[in-house]
């Protein structure tokens, strides 16, 4: 029996995960989005559920599928919807992992009708979206909070600033520098930085393997052997 238990090291733990892009409406038929596939967040969610965790996955539009029927999948479209869905469950979770590529800006005004082609140039005014992770960080109680960072310069310094700004316990820095890492790829090269600024550079590996590494950090946090 002890053997069976050890295969579900996250049994009883509640984990909130965000995944995918967000789409920010311009008019009824157009939006601003990004190329996030959602795979990283879905891989983490599926593995966490397989390890026994009770998972709420809040995802923007993706083609990914959950493979564990016990995952509570909440499908959202915009950053605002993702913000609200996360706050609804946050108080009750033990771990939050923010793998979504949330839009930083959205159109300030959404046209009610499809915008017609007219002038030769066209400007869309944007306003900042809410920072979901920073907001959750500011109201953190006992949650173990993990964020991602994508940087193209001063990677480590910028990632450390994000740890502080968002009150994170751990950040997963995605390196774009190496061949084969990043959006739309099957592999990632990540560096873990914890809140004490301990740095651990990982090998280039599949997103599934990165997901497993992240969950090892979660298991270690709870001191589960």
Looking at the annotation, which residues are catalytic? 34
Q: Is 180 left (phi over 0), alpha (psi -120 to 50) or beta?
A: left
- Consult the annotation and say whether 65 binds a ligand: no
Closest distance between ligand CTP and the C-beta of residue 144, in Å? 14
Considering the complex, state which of residue 110 and residue 176 has its C-beta at the smaller distance from ligand CTP: 176
Q: Choose the stretch contacting Ca ion; rule: CB under 5 A; options: 39-47, 102-110, 176-184, 201-209.
A: 102-110
- Consult the annotation and say whether 162 binds a ligand: yes
- Consult the annotation and say whether 189 binds a ligand: no
β-sheet bridge partners, residue 19: 59
Considering the complex, state which of residue 48 and residue 79 has its C-beta at the smaller distance from ligand CTP: 79
Closest distance between ligand CTP and the C-beta of residue 7, in Å? 29
The residue with tokens 């890492």 is 181
Secondary structure tally for the chain: helices H, strands E: 6, 14
Catalog residues that contact ligand CTP under the rule CB under 6 A.
Answer: 18, 79, 98, 100, 102, 104, 129, 131-133, 147-150, 162
Measured CA to CA, the distance from residue 190 to residue 49 in angstroms comes to: 22
- Consult the annotation and say whether 27 binds a ligand: no
Considering the complex, state which of residue 162 and residue 217 has its C-beta at the smaller distance from Ca ion: 162
Q: Are 84 and 16 in contact (CB under 8 A)?
A: no
Closest distance between Ca ion and the C-beta of residue 38, in Å? 16
Of 184, 156, 185, 152, residue with least CA distance to 172: 156
Q: Name the residue whose CB lies closest to Ca ion.
A: 104
Measured CA to CA, the distance from residue 42 to residue 100 in angstroms comes to: 10
Tell me if 104 contacts Ca ion by CB under 5 A: yes
């Amino acid at each position: 029996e002890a053997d069976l238990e050890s295969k579900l090291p996250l049994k009883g733990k509640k984990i909130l995960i965000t995944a995918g892009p967000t789409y920010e409406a311009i008019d009824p038929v157009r939006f601003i989005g990004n190329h996030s596939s959602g795979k990283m967040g879905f891989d983490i969610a599926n593995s966490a559920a397989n390890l026994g965790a009770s998972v709420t996955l809040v995802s923007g539009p993706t083609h990914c599928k959950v493979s564990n029927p016990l995952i509570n999948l909440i499908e959202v479209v915009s950053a605002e919807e993702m913000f609200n869905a996360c706050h609804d469950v946050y108080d009750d979770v033990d771990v939050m992992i923010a793998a979504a590529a949330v839009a930083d800006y959205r159109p300030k005004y959404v046209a009610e009708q499809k915008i017609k082609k007219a002038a030769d140039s066209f400007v869309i005014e944007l306003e900042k979206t809410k920072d979901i992770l920073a907001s959750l960080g500011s109201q953190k109680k006992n949650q173990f909070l993990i964020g991602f960072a994508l940087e193209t310069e001063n990677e480590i310094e910028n990632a450390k600033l994000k740890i502080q700004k968002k009150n994170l316990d751990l950040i997963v820095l995605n390196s774009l520098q190496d061949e084969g890492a990043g959006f739309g790829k099957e592999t990632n090269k990540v560096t873990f930085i914890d809140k004490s600024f301990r740095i651990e550079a990982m090998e280039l590996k599949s997103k599934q393997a990165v997901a497993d590494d992240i969950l090892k950090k979660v298991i270690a946090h709870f001191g589960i052997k």
